[in-house]
Amino acid sequence: MIGHGGQGDAGRSPPVGAEWLRRLPDFLDTGSYVVDDRGRIVDVTPRAAQLLGRAAEDLCGQDAHDLLHRGRRGEPMPATRCRMKRVLLTGRTAQGDEEWYERGDGSLMPVAWMVIPCRLGDGRMGAVMFFHESTRREAERPTATMPEVDRLALLAETTTTLTATLDVGETLRQLVRLVVPQLADWAVVDLLTEEGGVRRASVVHREDGALVHREDLEGPMPAVPEKSSMPLSRALRGVTATVAGPEDYQGPPDSDVAVVQRKLFRATGMHSAGIAPIRGPREVLGALTLGRSELPGAFTPTDLLLVEDIARGAGLALENARLYERQRRVAENMQRHLLPPLPQVPGLEMTACYVPAPDASQVGGDWYDSFVLAGGVTALVIGDVVGHDLAAAAGMAQVCNVLRAYAWAHPEAPSAVVDRLDRVVGRMTGASMATVVFARVEHTGGGGWRLRWTNAGHPPPLLIEYGGRARFLEAGDGILLGTGFAATRPDAVTELPPGSTLVLYTDGLIESPSRSLDEGMSRLREYAGTLARHPLTSLCDLLLTHTRPADNEDDVAMLGVRLPR
């Protein structure tokens, strides 16, 4: 027979499976179903399906609490208030007659119930639920006590706060801030990595009113064994939350994870901990451990249900953040692969860089290019296709390639090449409008260098002389590409002093919502003058670090060219 005592009695009972449930009498008034250790329905009697107004196949595999359990007025029932679900945590039989189930047609059924823990046929713990429609209808449920109100408020704040960010690190920081010290002295987050490993991402405790990281306890973790019955191993496999203490790790460890956990309990002094899986919508992401070392009292089943709900909210937030960061990496890699390598030009030193926007899930249209034309002339390009999406990136690639083709096929003035480009931009995918500087660096007869360029609505190139004088090359300005207006584009020409540096850049380097464009350009010019004799790569890195606005929301492309002395 099924044990009615503690978890030990349940452990000595015979395994329960679908065949066992079907052998139960089909009571006229009582329905029965079995749930596994995650609270999912694994089998159901015909009478239970009839009482619930749902087909058996619609019940099996569903979370019984989420699917059925409701408040008196039909509102979703928080898991922290579910007396039935506590059986999975405590291993003790429970019963009651003040709960409501939602039928398949949306109507509510008051139920009297009994839940008995059991061991399933595959060895896992589960529970058998017996219920029937109750004739006792309470006029009102009692009002929640203040602690319960505080718990629900914490859960609501957790959900709101964690879903407000798409950064994994910030999600973890906010999670710790919310639960320490309200629920625990210690918060430990273990995350499963995309490579299949485990990383202890955060170990934080409260010390003198501040949250302090224990970096010595963070880092890579051993692999999670499939058969380990220890609390953290079970949580990392997605099994329901459990209470743990140092006594759980006194015996011989069954895995390397258990060894690490023993060290954690000794180092932190935790006397009680609630450990819950962090589940995303698709998979288990890790485990949340909340521990008490100075706070009195062990974690109760009610506390554990709250920890489980908080971990569920954290799972949703972390899943969103991981998807965002994955998209971020794809977007950045795509943009970088679209940018061409720089040529090797005797006498010229060149460098280029691309920095994605902070919101890098939006692929930018900024690009740079350089290639060698007939006669040893070096072409330089910097441009920006309007938009921040995949269409802009596609348009950027097209504009870049067409400009190269025209420059090679038509050895004419930069303005003429750009004018040809302008006539086709409007017909390109994703390139409705664009700005560009197209320049040519040419040898002069005396061994010097000359720059010839045209500017289609782009920020002007910056020329930094070896002596420290910096100035913008503001000549050669014309309208941007893709407007549909026929206009005469000017060319400009200037001699490039020996040892000077030419910097072509996109507007993300100078634009900011908090200051004018003139201020941004002035700051760039003044700071660049102090870097005239820095190595070229260092010069560009410093410009990005010190002149790019902190509140910049755009990507940045930069092309630097240094002339020989």
- Give the start-to-end residue ranges of the domains of the chain: 7-133, 146-328, 339-562
- Separation between Cα atoms, residue 289 and residue 186, nearest integer Å: 8
> 496 pLDDT band (50/70/90 cuts)?
very high
> 9 pLDDT band (50/70/90 cuts)?
very low
CA-based nearest residue to 273, from 315, 231, 240: 231
Q: Is 322 helix (H, G, I), strand (E, B) or coil?
A: helix
> 73 pLDDT band (50/70/90 cuts)?
low
Residue 542 confidence (pLDDT) above 80: yes
- Which secondary structure element, helix H or strand E, spans residue 326, and what is its range? helix 301-338
Angle, alpha carbons 387-404-435 (nearest 5°):
30
**Pseudo-torsion of CA 415, 416, 417, 419, nearest 10°?**
80
In the chain, the amino acid numbered 422 is D
Residue 199: strand pairing partners: 191, 220
What is the model's pLDDT at position 152? 66
What is the model's pLDDT at position 40? 92
Q: Percent of the chain scored above 90 by pLDDT?
A: 39
Contact between 156 and 255 under an 8 Å Cβ cutoff? The reply is no
> 338 pLDDT band (50/70/90 cuts)?
low
Contact between 555 and 506 under an 8 Å Cβ cutoff? The reply is yes
Q: How far is CA 205 from CA 199, 212, 249, 529, in A?
A: 18, 6, 21, 48
What is the model's pLDDT at position 389? 56
CA-based nearest residue to 174, from 184, 187, 192, 185: 187
Query: Full-prediction pTM beyond 0.75?
Result: no
Here the tokens at position 17 are 């499976």
Question: Could you read off the pLDDT of 359-385 as tens digits, one per residue?
Answer: 544 556 788 999 999 888 999 999 988
We find that the CATH architecture of domain 7-133 is 2-Layer Sandwich (3.30)
Residue-by-residue DSSP string for 51-103? HHTS-HHHHTTSBHHHHHEE-TTSPBPPGGG-TTTHHHHH---EEEEEEEEE-
- Separation between Cα atoms, residue 401 and residue 414, nearest integer Å: 16
Higher pLDDT, residue 564 or 397: 564
- Which secondary structure element, helix H or strand E, spans residue 380, and what is its range? strand 378-385
Residue 203: strand pairing partners: 188
What is the model's pLDDT at position 377? 93
Highest average pLDDT, of 11-20, 30-39, 459-468, comes from: 459-468
Q: How far is CA 241 from CA 63, 135, 157, 177, 248, in A?
A: 15, 34, 21, 21, 15
Average pLDDT over residues 522-531: 95
Query: Does 146-328 match 7-133 at the fold level?
Result: yes
**Strand ordering across the sheet containing 69-70:** 41-44, 30-35, 125-133, 108-119, 94-102, 69-70
What is the model's pLDDT at position 263? 93
User: In the chain, count of helices (H) and strands (E)?
Assistant: 15, 24
Q: Percent of the chain scored above 70 by pLDDT?
A: 85
Q: Which of 35-44, 67-76, 234-243, 555-564 has the lowest mean pLDDT?
A: 67-76
Average pLDDT over residues 438-453: 91
What is the model's pLDDT at position 482? 85
- Spell out the CATH class of 146-328: alpha beta
> 141 pLDDT band (50/70/90 cuts)?
very low
Contact between 306 and 241 under an 8 Å Cβ cutoff? The reply is no
Question: Could you read off the pLDDT of 245-304 as tens digits, one per residue?
Answer: 999 888 888 889 999 999 999 999 999 999 999 988 888 999 999 999 988 888 888 888
- Spell out the CATH class of 339-562: alpha beta
- Which secondary structure element, helix H or strand E, spans residue 170, and what is its range? helix 168-179
Highest average pLDDT, of 65-79, 449-463, 486-500, comes from: 449-463
- Separation between Cα atoms, residue 524 and residue 518, nearest integer Å: 10
Question: Could you read off the pLDDT of 203-223 as tens digits, one per residue?
Answer: 999 887 788 989 999 999 998
Residue 158 confidence (pLDDT) above 80: no
Angle, alpha carbons 9-12-15 (nearest 5°):
120
Average pLDDT, the chain: 83
Task: Quickly count: other Cβ atoms within 10 Å of residue 83's Cβ.
Answer: 17
DSSP state of 447: S
Residue 167 confidence (pLDDT) above 80: no
What is the model's pLDDT at position 539? 94
Higher pLDDT, residue 189 or 338: 189
Average pLDDT over residues 414-442: 85
- Which secondary structure element, helix H or strand E, spans residue 221, and what is its range? strand 219-221
Question: Could you read off the pLDDT of 383-407 as tens digits, one per residue?
Answer: 988 765 556 666 777 888 899 999 9
Residue 536 confidence (pLDDT) above 90: yes
Residue 335 confidence (pLDDT) above 80: no
> 120 pLDDT band (50/70/90 cuts)?
confident
Buried b (16+ CB within 10 A) or exposed e, 204-232: bbbeeeeeeebeebbeebeebbeebebbb
Task: Quickly count: other Cβ atoms within 10 Å of residue 166's Cβ.
Answer: 18
